[in-house]
Every structure is written in C-alpha cells, then in structure tokens.
C-alpha cells in the first residue's frame, strides 16, 4: 500500500498539480475577461499556443528559461491590448455581444492558429526540460521541473488574486465589472481597464504556454485541446470567479490524473465533462459568484 502511494499515486498527484496550475492560469484569463468584459474569448487557446511558440523561438535564439518567463508575457501584453482595442471594441456594443464577440474571437483564433502553422510548420516541437533531474521526498521521486511549475504557477495565481482583490487597480477592475457606467463616472478609465484586463488574461495564457511547452509538445493546434478543459474549469468554478476557477482547476485536474490510473486516460475526459454536466444541473451558476458581484 505504501509503495503504491510512493510510486504510483504521489507522482500522479504532482503531475496533476502541474497541469492544474497551468490550466488555472489559462482559465483565470478566460474568467477575468468574461467577468469584466462579458466576452467569451474563443481565441484564448491560440494565445496559449502563441506563448509556447514565442518561448520556443526565443529559446532557440538563446534566451534562458527564466528570461522567457518574463519576456513572453511582456511581449503578449501589447498584443492583447491591441486585439481588444482594435477587434473586440468594434463589435462590443452590438445588441448580441455574447454571440458576436464569441464569433469574432473564434475567427481570430483560426487566423492565429494558421499563422503559427505558417511560421513554424505543422510538426510538433519539444523544447528541453529547463530544470532536469528529480528529487526524493519521503521515498517518492518527483521531477524538479513539475515541482517548479507548481510553485511558480501557484505564486502567479496568488499574485493575480492579490492584484484583483487587494490593490487600487484591482478595485477599478471590480468596479468596472460591477457597473461600467458608474465606474466611469467616478473616474475609472473603463476602456483602458477593459483592454488592460484582456491583455493581462492573454499574458497569463502565454505564461501557461511557456510552462507547459517542455512537458507537452508545441504544435499549432495545441490550444484547441487545452481550451475545453479551461472552459470546463470556468463553468464549474463559476464564470467570472477567480477563487472558483482555482478550486475547480485543482479539483478537475486531480480527477483527471487519478482516474487515468484506473481507466484508460482517453475516458478521463468524459468523466471531467460529466462533472461539468452534473454541476450545470445542480448549480448552474458554478461554485463562486462573478467578479465584482461577490
């Protein structure tokens, strides 16, 4: 029994955690964008792929891994800002914002995905693991890089929550999410907050791409497979909730990791999806309330 925990269960839990923090980073971006702008960003998975590809390109130039973790989000912030101002704002005030923005970002996702294929080719790339080796904790060997991911990702999630709930900037974001017009009349630069939050979400997805690139391969359609899990996480967690996305992200990736020990990993996805369906039936609003509303 002890051996089972040491050699099977514990490594699987850590693997699940590493995937979990990456999913949460992607989901946080989605959920903040939805909570604030009321926009479902269908191109979010492609931004995640973009982060991985930028890291790949910069890594080949010779930038060390820690520099990538700073450079990629810094590069993606202006991209996100421009996309929000130039594309989303164009249809933002149309009568059916949910549908039009969803379709627009979906189209943009197609362009991004094929653009990545045009530049980098369709074949998967696999960057080297930046932190090789493993460490023994209580008789369990755990890969160092996954532990680093859990730690670094955890810090980022915490920092995001602190920014949103404990800073003046975060107060502006929450105010704009609660009542756009009221926030604007009190002097919150709502349009900049919108674009900034979108850029922030996109940068988080980019970091998730950098972190996961050495574990999974980097290929143009990588965002597509990943985005369903991120959507499941924000639905279970409650659309527009940071705390909810974190809890749901940890829970669902653990369900996926542990259930794939007993059944074929192929069928782990339907189980995660079934949890989402049950959640929608029992509590359609999700675990937690929306940004700025609770």
Partner 1 sequence: MHDALTLDARANHWLALALGLACIGTACIGYAIGDTFYLRLATEALIFGGLALAVDILLGYTGLLSLGQALYFGLGAYVSAVTLIAFPSFWTAMGAALATGLFGGLIGGLIANRVRGVYFALITFGMAQVAAKAIYNTRSLGASDGLIGVPVLDVNLGIVTVSTASPVGFFLLALGVVTLLYALCSYLMDTPFGRLLIAIRTNEARVPFLGFRTTTLRLGSFVLASCVASLSGALYPMLRGFVSPELLFFSTSGNAVITVILGGVGTLVGALYGSIIFTIVKSVIGSWTEHHLIVIGILFMAVVIFLPKGLMGLAQPLMRRMVHRGKP
Q: What is the closest distance, in whole angstroms, from the C-beta atom of residue 77 to partner 1 in the complex?
A: 22
Q: What is the closest distance, in whole angstroms, from the C-beta atom of residue 110 to partner 1 in the complex?
A: 3
C-alpha span between 127 and 29 (Å, rounded): 25
C-alpha span between 201 and 27 (Å, rounded): 9
Closest by alpha carbon to 18, among 214, 221, 267, 217? 214
Q: What is the closest distance, in whole angstroms, from the C-beta atom of residue 94 to partner 1 in the complex?
A: 7
Q: What is the closest distance, in whole angstroms, from the C-beta atom of residue 90 to partner 1 in the complex?
A: 5
Closer residue to partner 1 in complex, CB, 15/232: 232
Residues in contact with partner 1 by the rule CB under 8 A? 34, 40, 87, 90-91, 94, 98-100, 102-104, 106-115, 117-118, 224, 228, 231-232, 235, 239, 264, 266-267, 269-270, 273, 276-277, 280-281, 284
Contact in structure between 144 and 131 (CB atoms under 8 Å): yes
Contact in structure between 29 and 196 (CB atoms under 8 Å): no
Q: What is the closest distance, in whole angstroms, from the C-beta atom of residue 4 to partner 1 in the complex?
A: 27
Q: How far is CA 181 from its chain centroid?
A: 29
Closer residue to partner 1 in complex, CB, 214/223: 223
Q: What is the closest distance, in whole angstroms, from the C-beta atom of residue 115 to partner 1 in the complex?
A: 6
Strands (E), the chain: 134-137, 140-143
**Number of helices and strands in the chain (H, E):** 13, 2
C-alpha span between 222 and 49 (Å, rounded): 6
Closer residue to partner 1 in complex, CB, 172/227: 227
Closer residue to partner 1 in complex, CB, 160/232: 232
Closer residue to partner 1 in complex, CB, 90/293: 90
Contact in structure between 246 and 24 (CB atoms under 8 Å): yes
Distances (CA, A) of 153 to 75, 145, 157, 162, 205: 19, 12, 6, 14, 12
Q: What is the closest distance, in whole angstroms, from the C-beta atom of residue 117 to partner 1 in the complex?
A: 7
Classify residue 278 by burial, with Cβ atoms within 10 Å: 0-12, 13-18, 19+: exposed
Closer residue to partner 1 in complex, CB, 47/145: 47
Closer residue to partner 1 in complex, CB, 156/276: 276
Number of other residues whose CB lies within 10 A of the CB of residue 293: 12
Q: What is the closest distance, in whole angstroms, from the C-beta atom of residue 155 to partner 1 in the complex?
A: 29
Q: What is the DSSP string of 176-221?
A: HHH-HHHHHHTT--HHHHHHHHHHHHHHHHHHHHHHHTTTS-B-TT
Closer residue to partner 1 in complex, CB, 61/93: 93
């Amino acid at each position: 029994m002890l051996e089972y925990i040491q050699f099977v269960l514990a490594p699987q839990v850590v693997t699940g955690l590493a995937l979990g923090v990456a999913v949460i980073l992607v989901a946080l971006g989605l959920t903040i964008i939805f909570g604030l702008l009321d926009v479902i960003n269908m191109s979010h998975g492609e931004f995640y792929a973009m982060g991985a590809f930028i890291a790949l390109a910069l890594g080949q130039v010779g930038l060390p891994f820690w520099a990538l973790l700073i450079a990629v989000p810094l590069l993606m912030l202006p991209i996100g800002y421009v996309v929000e101002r130039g594309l989303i704002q164009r249809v933002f005030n149309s009568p059916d914002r949910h549908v039009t923005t969803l379709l627009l970002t979906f189209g943009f996702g197609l362009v991004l995905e094929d653009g990545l294929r045009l530049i980098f080719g369709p074949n998967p790339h696999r960057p080297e693991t930046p932190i090789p080796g493993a460490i023994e904790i209580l008789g369990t060997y755990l890969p160092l890089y996954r532990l680093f991911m859990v730690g670094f990702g955890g810090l980022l999630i915490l920092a995001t929550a602190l920014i949103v709930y404990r800073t003046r900037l975060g107060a502006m974001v929450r105010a704009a999410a609660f009542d756009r017009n009221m926030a604007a009349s009190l002097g919150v630069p709502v349009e900049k907050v919108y674009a900034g939050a979108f850029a922030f979400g996109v940068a988080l997805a980019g970091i998730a791409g950098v972190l996961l690139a050495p574990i999974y391969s980097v290929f143009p359609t990588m965002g597509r497979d990943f985005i369903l899990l991120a959507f499941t996480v924000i639905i279970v967690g409650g659309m527009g909730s940071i705390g909810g996305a974190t809890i749901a992200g940890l829970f669902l990736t653990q369900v996926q990791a542990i259930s794939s020990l007993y059944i074929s990993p192929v069928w782990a996805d339907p189980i995660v999806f079934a949890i989402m369906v049950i959640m929608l039936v029992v509590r359609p609003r999700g675990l937690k309330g929306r940004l700025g509303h609770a």
